[in-house]
Amino acid sequence: MPKIVVLRWGHRPQRDARLTTHVVLTARALGASGLILSDIKDKKIKEAIEKVTENWGGPFFFEMGVPWKKSVKEWKEKGGIVVHLTAYGENIQTSDVLQRIKASEKDILVIVGSQKVPKVFFSRPVSDFNVAIGSQPHSECAGLAVFLDRFFDGTELAKDFENAKMRIIPQKRGKKTVKK
Amino acid sequence: MPKIVVLRWGHRPQRDARLTTHVVLTARALGASGLILSDIKDKKIKEAIEKVTENWGGPFFFEMGVPWKKSVKEWKEKGGIVVHLTAYGENIQTSDVLQRIKASEKDILVIVGSQKVPKVFFSRPVSDFNVAIGSQPHSECAGLAVFLDRFFDGTELAKDFENAKMRIIPQKRGKKTVKK
């Protein structure tokens, strides 16, 4: 199975603190291998995700401050493809874009913007595919979740995380966790 | 097809402003009929979602300030069921919980918490089902998105919104919108 890494672009530490944290947690919980917070450093988010991975397991890497151009360039040099999630792209439900992405059998860098993204993100030097999780405005967090769930055919939600200190035991009622 | 309404509980206007906005937008874009912001009013969120619905279409209703107990009671009196999204519930991937929910053929009130929810949310007087979008901590926005996408089998992303002023025409490259 190809691996997926998320590139979070346009993070503004004050305004986007919680949303970016949710994007990182979503990436981890739904099967991505790691997330790159591009162009900026945010120690609080790094600490938050490292604490989650320490308690609930991994592997999941978090990098920050890398210029987005560098990440994209290196990703492509290693043979990976780039998918840009945008409401303007090919609709994941009504087009065959997901099948074409899967058919490539390549590792995927998924770009998830915060603020309005530069025009170049839509074009070939950057993105191999522009994918819309529906053609309505909504949330990059929701979009990323649906993309990962569909890409991994749901298997990511059954994944066993390694070196977890805690684990939830699913229950019909109430909460049950075990310490390892 | 049964309808889904989202109940957002525990909203804190300062801290949760953007996240709750994303939850509301996700509800609308992924096929819910409306959202109830329980127990509190937040005019800014109301204005934001009304603007989106005015421009991009509906129908989608937004209510706020209703005590959660009242919403749940009225929902059940009308014959609906309540689904509480929580990482501690039955795993949507590894259990048959979604099949059981669908088999009920009833309208669904989906409870999405912000802060830690009251214990009673897990129990029978409130929730008919506790559903985990994976047993890992992540984001209520992501969880709601995956639940809706799986419940509607993806058809929600092809839905045509009524009375829209603007519509996106999906593109492989660039942005294209039409005014109606």
Q: Write the pLDDT tens digit of every residue in A50-85.
A: 999 999 999 999 999 999 999 999 999 999 999 999
pLDDT tens-digit map of B129-175: 999 999 999 999 999 999 999 999 999 999 999 999 999 999 999 99
Q: With CB atoms and an 8 Å threshold, state whether B171 touches A130.
A: yes
Above 90 in pLDDT, residue A115? no
Tell whether pTM > 0.90: yes
* Residue B60 burial (10 A CB sphere; 0-12, 13-18, 19+): buried
Which residues in chain A are closer than 8 Å to B91, comparing Cβ atoms?
Answer: 157-158, 170
Question: Cα–Cα distance between A120 and B56 in angstroms, integer?
Answer: 25
Q: Which residue has the tokens 């040099």?
A: A77
A53 near B CB under 8 A? no
Cβ neighbours of residue B113 closer than 8 Å, sequence gap 6 or more:
B9, B10, B84, B85, B86, B121, B140
Nearest to B157 among A122, A134, A157 (CB): A134
Q: State chain B's mean pLDDT as an integer.
A: 97
Interface membership of B163 toward A (CB under 8 Å): no
Chain B within 8 Å of A28 (Cβ-Cβ)? yes
- Between CA B82 and CA A44 the distance in angstroms is 36
Mean pLDDT of chain A: 97
Condensed to tens digits (0 to 9), the pLDDT of residues A135-174 reads: 999 999 999 999 999 999 999 999 999 999 999 999 999 9
ipTM for the whole complex: 0.98
- The predicted pLDDT at position B115 comes to 87
Distance from CA of A67 to the nearest CA of B (A): 23
Q: How far is Cα B129 from Cα B134, in angstroms, rounded to an integer?
A: 15
Residues in chain A within 8 Å Cβ distance of B98: none
Model confidence over B68-106: pLDDT tens digits? Answer: 999 999 999 999 999 999 999 999 999 999 999 999 999
Q: Is the Cβ of A22 closer than 8 Å to some Cβ of chain B? A: yes
Those residues with Cβ within 8 angstroms of residue B70's Cβ, 6 or more apart along the chain or in another chain? none
Handedness of CA A19, A152, B151, B117 (dihedral sign): negative
Report helix angle A13-29 to A43-56, nearest 10.
Answer: 20
Cβ separation B138–A95 shorter than 8 A: no
Q: A60 and chain B: CB distance < 8 Å anywhere? A: no
Structure tokens at A129: 């595919």
